[in-house]
Amino acid sequence: MRIGELSKATDVPVPTIKYYLREGLLPAGELSSPNQASYDAVHVRRLRLIRALTELAQVPVAQVKEILESLDSDDIPLHEQIGRAHRALTPTRRLTTTPEARATAESQVAALITRRGWTIEPEAPALATLIDTIAAMETLGQPHLSSYLDAYAEAVEHFTQLDIEAVTTRPTRDQLAESVVIGTILGETLIASLRLLAQESISAQRWKNR
Amino acid sequence: MRIGELSKATDVPVPTIKYYLREGLLPAGELSSPNQASYDAVHVRRLRLIRALTELAQVPVAQVKEILESLDSDDIPLHEQIGRAHRALTPTRRLTTTPEARATAESQVAALITRRGWTIEPEAPALATLIDTIAAMETLGQPHLSSYLDAYAEAVEHFTQLDIEAVTTRPTRDQLAESVVIGTILGETLIASLRLLAQESISAQRWKNR
């Protein structure tokens, strides 16, 4: 198909497609004449992935490029690919907390990881986010929330088994890696919206007249 | 304390504090002289909540004001307060999907809500987000992910019981409402970062050499 048809199929404007081509996010089409290229299903699929990353997960274009390059490389072990995608997807929102609250949170998280038997690299960005979040709970006068840490971690392990189950059905390594990236992004929105709905339902039953 | 001390205690710059005072997000201090006001622990606490909302949850200032007004009002039932906070906290990210994918997602979600016995108002913003997310999974060639919907919903119900348990320990209605708002925001980051860590750990064990 031509670039105009690719634009229609994916609902991405032609100038945006040209920008992605220039930035190397989208592989070049096959030249059908000196100034006309032809695109196929691979481009449609890749464009949708780019949009999911930029629009849903709000990953900056430079990092999208990194994720796609690592998806396209056969030399990078799958676990390392997943790590790169995670690094790009981890929110970097931070809240200034007191040094005391941070120190307490750090030891709480270290103890949690030991109790769960998790294998975590010390530079995992989600580790910093978790520590910040627990320190923020303390700083915001909600230290009771962190006493549920083990219960949350246990429920999350249950999710993660589902995450892994859902992606391992993919037949090829490429599809598995793509599925992990999409599952990580969309899974987060899925869980967050299910949680708000479940909260709404329980709150309606429990606090309707309070 | 004076405004400079309030700034030090909360790590919020004085001009930002003045902006919040002008916008009515922060109650005025008590005038100790014609041009000097004094602030207390209530202001410290409120400033931290404002920062959690703007920085961690990235809620726009106008909506922060709405959440705070509803927290401060005794006339609004607790369930309605929670609903308002949810509306402000629901991400509005969207991904263009095909009308067919959206129609399928809509009936999947309706069936899910019936199966779970949830009480959900049709205009709940999380409902639109959930439908969009499932439609995006289909559009991105990952329809297998939505077959885990019931399993995810069940795990989420488990979380939500924890969410509710964690906040109902709060002694007053005010504190309960504040705790719900903070728990909703920080809980989302907590769950997301725990999930990335659990995924990393499982992926390290499972796909190290693939």
Q: Is A183 on the interface with B (CB under 8 A)?
A: yes
pLDDT higher than 70, residue A20: yes
Q: pLDDT tier at B25 (50, 70, 90 boundaries)?
A: very high
The count of other CB atoms within 10 Å of the CB of residue A205 is 12
Q: How many Å apart are CA A17 and CA A2, to the nearest integer?
A: 12
Q: Which of A193-197, A205-209, B30-34, B203-207 has the lowest mean pLDDT?
A: A205-209
pLDDT at A96: 67
Q: Do B201 and B104 share a structural domain?
A: yes
Average pLDDT score, chain A:
84
Contact between residue A206 and residue B164 where contact means Cβ atoms under 8 Å apart: yes
Top-ranked range on mean pLDDT: pick from A112-116, A179-183, B206-210? A112-116
Q: Do A197 and A105 share a structural domain?
A: yes
What percent of chain A has pLDDT above 90? 24
Q: How many structural domains is chain B composed of?
A: 2
pLDDT higher than 80, residue A58: no
Residue to test with chain B: of A182, A194, A210, most B Cβ within 10 A: A194
Q: pLDDT tier at B95 (50, 70, 90 boundaries)?
A: low
Q: Is B82 on the interface with A (CB under 8 A)?
A: yes
Condensed to tens digits (0 to 9), the pLDDT of residues B111-131 reads 999 999 998 888 888 898 899
Tell me whether residue B70 is in a domain: no
Q: Do A180 and A97 share a structural domain?
A: yes
Tell me whether residue A166 is in a domain: yes
| Residue B76 structure tokens | 């609004």
Q: Is B198 on the interface with A (CB under 8 A)?
A: yes
What's at A93, amino acid-wise? R
Claim: this prediction has a pTM higher than 0.90: no
Q: How many Å apart are CA B58 and CA B45, to the nearest integer?
A: 18
Top-ranked range on mean pLDDT: pick from A64-78, B48-62, B100-114, B165-179? B100-114
Chain A CB contacts of B208 below 8 Å = 77, 79
Q: Is A59 on the interface with B (CB under 8 A)?
A: no
**Which residues span the domain enclosing B39?**
3-56
| Residue A154 structure tokens | 């246990």
Contact between residue B9 and residue B17 where contact means Cβ atoms under 8 Å apart: no
Q: pLDDT tier at B7 (50, 70, 90 boundaries)?
A: very high
Contact between residue A173 and residue B209 where contact means Cβ atoms under 8 Å apart: no
Q: Which of B192, B185, B2, B198 is nearest to B91 (CA)?
A: B185
pLDDT at A53: 81
Which residue in the set B51, B86, B199 is minimally distant from A160, CB to CB? B199
Could you tell me the maximum CA-CA distance found in chain B, to the nearest angstrom?
A: 71
Q: How many Å apart are CA A139 and CA A95, to the nearest integer?
A: 9
Q: Do B95 and B15 share a structural domain?
A: no
Residue with tokens 């606090």: A207
Residues B160, A191: C-beta atoms closer than 8 Å: no
Alpha-helix residue ranges (DSSP H) falling in chain B: 3-10, 14-23, 41-51, 61-72, 78-89, 99-116, 125-139, 149-168, 173-207
pLDDT at A93: 59
Q: Do A95 and A48 share a structural domain?
A: no
Q: Which of A198-202, B14-18, B78-82 has the lowest mean pLDDT?
A: B78-82
The β-bridge relationship of strands B36-38 and A30-33 is unpaired
Q: Do B119 and B197 share a structural domain?
A: yes
pLDDT at B103: 93
Which residue in the set B79, B126, B186 is minimally distant from A203, CB to CB? B79
pLDDT at A21: 94
Environment class of residue A114 by beta-carbon count within 10 Å: exposed (0-12), middle (13-18) or buried (19+)? exposed
The count of other CB atoms within 10 Å of the CB of residue A172 is 8
Q: Do A121 and A40 share a structural domain?
A: no
Residue B31 host element (H or E):
strand B30-33
pLDDT at B3: 95
Q: Do A49 and A101 share a structural domain?
A: no
Tell me whether residue B29 is in a domain: yes
pLDDT higher than 70, residue A209: no
Contact between residue B166 and residue A205 where contact means Cβ atoms under 8 Å apart: no
Q: Do A94 and A137 share a structural domain?
A: yes
The whole-number average pLDDT for the span B187-204 is: 85
Q: Do B200 and B123 share a structural domain?
A: yes
pLDDT at A81: 74
Q: How many Å apart are CA B39 and CA A179, to the nearest integer?
A: 52
Q: Which of A12-26, B13-27, B177-191 has the lowest mean pLDDT?
A: B177-191
Tell me whether residue A98 is in a domain: yes
| Residue B113 structure tokens | 């809500």
pLDDT higher than 70, residue B144: yes
What's at A171, amino acid-wise? P
Q: pLDDT tier at B38 (50, 70, 90 boundaries)?
A: very high
Q: Do A156 and A98 share a structural domain?
A: yes
Condensed to tens digits (0 to 9), the pLDDT of residues A74-98 reads 777 777 777 777 777 776 656 667 7
Contact between residue A126 and residue B193 where contact means Cβ atoms under 8 Å apart: yes
Tell me whether residue B51 is in a domain: yes
Q: Do A101 and A17 share a structural domain?
A: no
Chain A CB contacts of B144 below 8 Å = 166, 169-170
Tell me whether residue A74 is in a domain: no
Residue to test with chain B: of A148, A159, A209, most B Cβ within 10 A: A159
pLDDT at B4: 95
Question: Which one is predicted more confidently, B68 or A144?
Answer: B68
Contact between residue B27 and residue B42 where contact means Cβ atoms under 8 Å apart: yes
Average pLDDT score, chain B:
84
Tell me whether residue B122 is in a domain: yes
Question: Which one is predicted more confidently, A153 or A188?
Answer: A153
Tell me whether residue A71 is in a domain: no
**The Cα angle at residue B202 between residues B196 and B206, in degrees rounded to 5:** 140
The whole-number average pLDDT for the span B159-163 is: 80
